[in-house]
Amino acid sequence: MTTPAQHNSYEPHATGRLLESMAAWLLAIFWLLPLIYALWTAFHPAEFSTRFDLLAPLTLNNFAQAWNAAPFARYFVNTFLLVTLILVCQTVLCTLAAYAFARFEFAGRNIAFALVLVQLMIMPDVLIVENYRTMTLIGLVDSIPAIALPYMASAFGIFLLRQTFKTVPKELDDAARVEGAGPLQVLWRVYVPLAKPIYLAFALVSVSYHWNNFLWPLIVTDSVEARPLTVGLQVFSSTDQGIDWSVICAATLMTSAPLIVGFLLFQRQFVQSFTRAGIR
């Protein structure tokens, strides 16, 4: 009668378990169906895109056609530059701010922190009209920095890191200071190494968010040189030149491929990171 400790006594047995497994699998298949459908269409010639024949010939032609029909290589570079720029700036800015909020009792700290938290509710995503005006004013419209700037200071990142830094024992901080380390050295040698899992979590969330972000880049970019993948994909698939669905599906999968592959390889880290970042 001994059950492994971590399992719930209400876990179904025998028939119950079978039924539950079947239901879970049914939902999983239903959940994957649109994706499988897209895969089918992308890897088969156009005439099979709506006909299901297990013997239909496989092809990479759709991918080649999509790749040649639009400057996807450039879009990939743009998106890569964009997410890197955002992640680097966010990491540096949020680390500094979070450290100050966690360990420096400076005058005006509470007001400043409240002002930071405002961004959790009023995200740059909804301030498109005024931010576009600002970008026009400083002459950055249609550039990668213009997409990145509103997101560089992340209230979410500051909050997340502040919570983490607060759990670092004060004694470690004091010990480093006794050895004569300045505030930035303490931050770099004591706090940052201890927060590594949180940095990973934040990085995964940030990269997947900005890889996928669409509305603001759509508004603020206007040329191949600045457009990220999401906007490039939209421009490509909405042109009325009669591109067939197989090519659009191929392009769609191609643009999401790095994230999907990354997710499949590092599934555990992804799920843990999203959870960690969410629950704080």
Partner 1 sequence: MRTPGRRWRVTLHGWLMVLPAMALLALFTHWPALATLIDSFWSTRRPRRPPVFVGLDNYRSMLADPVFWKSIVNNLWFALGTIPLSMGLALLMAIWVNDRIAGRAIVRMAYFTPTVLPMIAVANIWLFFYTPQIGLLEQVLAKFGAPAHNWLGTPDTALACVIVVAIWKEAGFFMIFYLAALQQIPPTLAEAAALEGSSRWTFFRRVQFPLLMPTTLFVLINAVINAFRTVDHIVVMTRGGPDNATTLLLYYIYEVGFKFWDTTYAAALTMVLLGLLAAVALVQYLLLERRIHYR
Site for partner 1 (CB under 8 A): how many residues?
98
Residue 172 CA from chain centroid, whole number: 33
Radius of gyration of the chain (CA): 24
Residues 6+ apart with CB under 8 A from 194: 164, 168, 172
Among 66, 147, 233, 247, binds partner 1 (CB under 8 A): 233
180 interacts with partner 1 by CB under 8 A: no
Cα–Cα distance between 101 and 105 in angstroms, integer?
8
Select from 68, 121, 178, 193 the one that contacts partner 1 (CB under 8 A).
Answer: 121
Binding test (CB under 8 A) with partner 1, winner from 57, 169, 197, 278 = 278
Q: Considering the rule CB under 8 A, would residue 41 count as an interface residue with partner 1? A: yes
Non-local (6+) Cβ contacts of 191 within 8 A are 99, 165, 168, 173
Site for partner 1 in 134-153 (CB under 8 A): 134, 149-150, 152-153
Q: What is the footprint of partner 1 within residues 156-175 (CB under 8 A)? A: 158
* Minimum gap (Å) between residue 128 Cβ and partner 1: 7
Distances from the Cα of 237 to the Cα of 82, 144, 175, 240, 246, angstroms: 22, 22, 59, 8, 11
Q: Tell me: does residue 234 bind partner 1 (CB under 8 A).
A: yes
> Applying CB under 8 A, does 214 fall inside the site for partner 1?
yes
Q: Are 89 and 152 contacting, i.e. CB atoms less than 8 angstroms apart?
A: yes
Candidate list 175, 215, 224, 265; residue touching partner 1; CB under 8 A: 215
Least separation in angstroms between residue 58's CB and partner 1 is 19
- End-to-end Cα distance, the chain: 38
| The dihedral sign for the CA sequence 61, 66, 69, 71 | negative
Give the footprint of partner 1 on residues 45-104 (CB under 8 A): 49-50, 93-94, 96-97, 99-101, 104
Of positions 2, 14, 58, 108, contacts partner 1 by CB under 8 A: 108
The token pair at 66 is 């999509």
Least separation in angstroms between CB 193 and partner 1: 18
Pick one of 60, 88, 115, 224: the residue that binds partner 1 (CB under 8 A). Answer: 115
Q: Extract the tokens encoding 225.
A: 């040189």
Chain centre distance of CA 184: 29
Report 4-23 residues binding partner 1 (CB under 8 A): 5-12, 17, 20-21, 23
CB of 125 to partner 1, least distance (A): 5
Sole window of 61-69, 169-177, 188-196, 252-260 interacting with partner 1 (rule: CB under 8 A):
252-260
Per the CB < 8 A criterion, the answer to whether 157 and 87 are in contact is: no
Interface with partner 1 (CB under 8 A), residue from 1, 73, 114, 129: 129
175 or 271: CB nearest partner 1: 271
Residue partners of 187: CB distance under 8 A and separation at least 6? 95, 96, 99
